[in-house]
Structure formats: structure tokens, C-alpha cells
Structure 1
Amino acid sequence: MDVRAGLPEGPRARGAYEERPSRVPGAVLWTRAAAPGTAAPNPVLPDGCMDLIWSEGRLFVAGPDTRAHPSEDGAGRRYAGIRFAPGSAPAYLGVPAHELRDTRAELAHLWRGADARRLTERIDAAADPTAELERAAVRLAAAAPPDPLLARVAAALAAGRSVTETAAATGLNTRLLHRRSLAAFGYGPKTLARVLRLQRALALARAGVPFAETAVRAGYTDHPHLARDVRALTGLTLGRLA
């Protein structure tokens, strides 16, 4: 199950979903309360990120996606999550990202069961579970900060630089860049670049930029290339997403 909303309308517009910057560097703290009878949340779109999610007795990790991931409605449940910046969650959680690609895994399956259970119980018992989840994430980030080189890789690809340019800028040969990317992002740099290009295109389209111009500015060959890639990654049209 995943409860991150992939579109700006629907449940977000009804106030069911809220997010704000987290005290964890580069991360976003989000909450969702699904009232009975509300529509199921939109699919979660690939974004290069991983989340640690709490939901009343559960702690689980949403791994990096290569395609849109369906969400269950979770009616009547509360959720809180930390969406970590690309490449940072594996350091915090102690699990290579490629092992969690396109999965949702209980934290108890990734950590020692007792550690995961104590953390879940502490968040459950807190007066403000969302704040307690963030405090736990801050502690994890302080104990195992990610390699800043990986942040540079993500930033270069997010800016539209090629894999070859990114490797040269970070001092990694392409083979080493691929291996480091698998562990940090869950997939190779070409796939990460494609996912981040999708996010650039969505941001432009949602800002009202015409689709043909969006394609050029986001780094696609042309509008048909953009349309094909959006459909392949999300199963939806750009018009629906925008």
C-alpha cells in the first residue's frame, strides 16, 4: 500500500493530504487522513524518492518506483510519511535502494524486529505521531548522513545533464556511477534521469506551459516523445496529469 498522492487535485484538493518541508535535509513531511467514503488516492508517480510511512500500528518503507504505483484508499486511517531526497534513504535505513525497488516493505522486515516494534509503538503512543515520526527521521539522518556525492549526482541529472556529463562532473566512471546509483537510488543513472525528466515535465505542464514547449524545456525530442514517455511511466496522459 502507498498513500502518497501523485496528482495535485482529487484528495489533495479536499484537504485530505498536506505536506511541508521536514527538518531532515531535503525531505518532505506529509500527512493524509482518509475519511470513509472518500475517493481512493491517485497513483503514486515515480520521483526517485523513498518514504518512511506510519499508519496506526505500522511502519513501512515505500521503495523507489520505476512506474506509477496504485494506492489503496485506506479509508478511516491516518497516515504520516517522510519523503526523503533521492539517494539519502538507504543511508538512513541501512538498506540498498535496489532491494526495495517497486516494493512496499514493512520496517520489521528490514530492521531487527524489536527495533522496528519499539519505534512503531513510540510513534503510536505519541500525542502527535507525525512529529514523533519526524523526530525519529531526524535521529536517523544525524546518525548516518548520506554521501554528498550522491546528492550531486541527483542534482546534475535533475538539471538535465547527461549520464556522461554527470559522471565527469562527479569524478566517477560510468560503471562506478551505475553501481553507486543502484544502491543509492534503486536504479541506474539513465533510469533516474528519465524519472527526473518526467518530474520536470509535470512541473512545467502544471504551471501552464504548453505541452510542445514543455517537451523541449524538459529535455524530450518533441511532444510525441514526451507523450509516449509519460504514458510508459505513469499509465496516464500528460493532459490527465496536468
Structure 2
Amino acid sequence: MKLVFDGVTAGYTEVPAVHDVKLTIAAGEFVAVVGPNGSGKSTLLKTVYRALRPRAGAVLLGEADVWTARHRDVARRVGVLGQDQAGGYDFTAREAVRLGRYPHLGAFDRLSVTDEAVVADALERTGATAFADRPLSTLSGGERQRVLLARSLAQEPGLLVLDEPTNHLDPAHQISVLSLVASLGITVVAALHTLDLAARHATTIVALKRGTIAAAGTPAEVLTPAVFREVFEVDGSVVPDPVDGRPRVLLRELSS
């Protein structure tokens, strides 16, 4: 599903956190949005899933403006794993994932056998089946993160928006979650702090600096010494992994 930011300006204060962002994301791309704290990553993503209305510009999903489309239509097409989405602790993990099916149901519909199969598959794919019937309040942060991702997958969206999806996850689950997301064949936009993960999993990287796009392109085009210095204020280089040849990012303190 194609996503377009057409001159998007947005923020919570008089000074916008993102300004005049123009970006087209093709269907099936995995786009990692990177940048230092305060660069506008989360703000930009919130304009996609209707958590923050742009002050100017438009966010287009396919041909539809997400802010003029029906809320239910957007909910069916956009899956979200945002920061601080750990509410509903009285739910079991399975009940939380079932919520992902509700945008597809009528007001009085119950989950069908097919819906339950989608829920079970989402739990299995995220490695959450073992604790599916435990209350969310008893789960670790990493386990809850996997449940929330399973809920998004249960929506069967055309676009998946992830805001720091590897928060609370140990290294093994960081890799498995992003590998799973990359394998879905749908459009993915993920705000990531770890450049190494972005380099290994994304097809496109967008680097933000003070709310504007400083660089955008393939990992090889964006993760350069010049961008490391300009955007992140560090020295860095990219080397092939000695095992699988995929890119690894090496960072060090900025030299004078």
C-alpha cells in the first residue's frame, strides 16, 4: 500500500516538530525512519495513524487522505505498534490480540472461527503463544511488546506503522521481530533508534534532523560517514557482516 507525505508539517508547540516533509513510500517497502532524539520521528508517524493532525500538508494512503477518510477504513488498513501502548492489563494476551480483528467486524458481530485462526497465527508468528492466556499485567515488557505486535498483525493491514518496535526486546527478539516484519510483504514504516537494525532490515532509510529530511535512500546511500557526522554527530562506517555479508554499522565518538 502506497503512503505519501505531501508537505507535512506537524507538532505540539508553536515550533513544529516536523516541517514540510515530502516523501513517497512505495507499496511493499520497509522504510526505517532514523534520527537523534527530538528529530521528529514519532511525530511524523503519528500523522499516519490519526494521533496527530498535520498543521499543513496531507498524508495519503493509496489515493485517500487519512484525515478525511472514515476512521474505520483507516483502522482496517493501518496496523500500529506505538510507544506506551501497554494499557488493558486486565486482558489476557489472546484477548488483546483479538482486538485487532474488531475493525473488520460489524457492531454486533462475534469473532468467527476464521478470526480466531488469524489471532492464533499472529500469536504464533510473534512467539507469544506460550503466554497467550496470561494477563498482560504478568508479562514482561518484551512479552507485552510481542503481544501488541501480534495484535497489529491480526488486523491484516496493508500498512504497518512501528514506533520503536524493539523497545524492551532482548537481542534475539529484536532480530526475529524485524525479520518477521520484513517478511510480511506489506508496507512498513518504522522509527528505529538502532542504526544496525535499520541497515540490516530496511529497504529504505529516511534520516531526520530537526524535523526535516536530511537524507533518504537505500541503506548504502544514507549510512555514510557524512550523514553520521551531520545527523548523529558521531563518526561511523558500514562493514559487511563476516557471516552473512549484511551491513553492520560501527559508530565511535566524533573526532575533532
What TM-score bracket applies, with the shorter chain setting the length? under 0.3
* TM-score (normalizing by structure 2): 0.25
Hey, which of these two has a bigger chunk of helix by percent? 1
* TM-score (normalizing by structure 1): 0.26
Hey, which of these two has a bigger chunk of strand by percent? 2
